[in-house]
């Protein structure tokens, strides 16, 4: 009996902590990661309108309106229906809610996709001016279009 209890206690102590560890959000890092691939990305600053995001990942229709990045900054009007894709890492899934945001949209064929993961990559809710300026500079350097 004591051996069984001791063995159970040792198994619990040896198990890894089940937690997701993410780096703090970093606009420039997200832009660099996007630019490393062969995909085309578009930086936007505006409003997101979406319904509930699936709790276990998946895609939902959404809309973003505001401004897309051009050579002179966020000056190109943007109003488009997009796909919001929630990606999961184990039991943790990306989230997004309607409201103000800056984001990187991935171009997939004839549609734009906002990919959100549990670590918050590619979208910045209620962005501060500094984040928007960092997004502008990083995208112009990396070639977001």
In the chain, the domains with their CATH numbers are: 24-142 (2.40.50)
Question: Tokens 């991935």 identify what position?
Answer: 106
pTM of the model: 0.81
**Between 53 and 96, the higher pLDDT residue:** 96
Quickly tell me which residue has 């809309």 as its tokens.
Answer: 63
pLDDT at 111 over 90: yes
* Alpha carbons 99 and 97: distance in angstroms, whole number: 6
* Pairwise CA distance, residues 70 & 51, whole Å: 29
Where is average pLDDT lowest: 53-57, 65-69, 119-123? 53-57
Report, as an integer, the average pLDDT of 106-130.
94
Q: b/e per residue, 82-105, with b = 16+ CB within 10 A?
A: bbbbbbeeeeebbebeeeebbbbb
Distance (Å, whole) CA 23 – CA 26: 8
pLDDT value of residue 133? 94
């Amino acid at each position: 009996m004591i051996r069984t209890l001791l063995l159970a206690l040792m198994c619990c102590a040896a198990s890894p902590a089940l937690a997701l560890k993410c780096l703090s959000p970093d606009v420039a890092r997200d832009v660099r990661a996007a630019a490393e691939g062969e995909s085309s990305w578009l930086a936007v600053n505006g409003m997101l309108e979406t319904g509930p995001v699936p709790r276990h990942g998946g895609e939902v229709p959404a809309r973003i309106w505001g401004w897309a990045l051009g050579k002179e900054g966020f000056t190109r009007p943007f109003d488009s229906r997009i796909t919001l894709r929630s990606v999961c890492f184990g039991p943790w899934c990306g989230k997004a809610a309607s409201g103000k945001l800056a984001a990187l949209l991935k171009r997939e064929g004839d549609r734009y996709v906002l990919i959100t993961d549990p670590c918050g990559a590619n979208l910045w809710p209620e962005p501060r001016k500094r984040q928007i300026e960092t997004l502008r500079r990083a995208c112009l350097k990396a070639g977001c279009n």
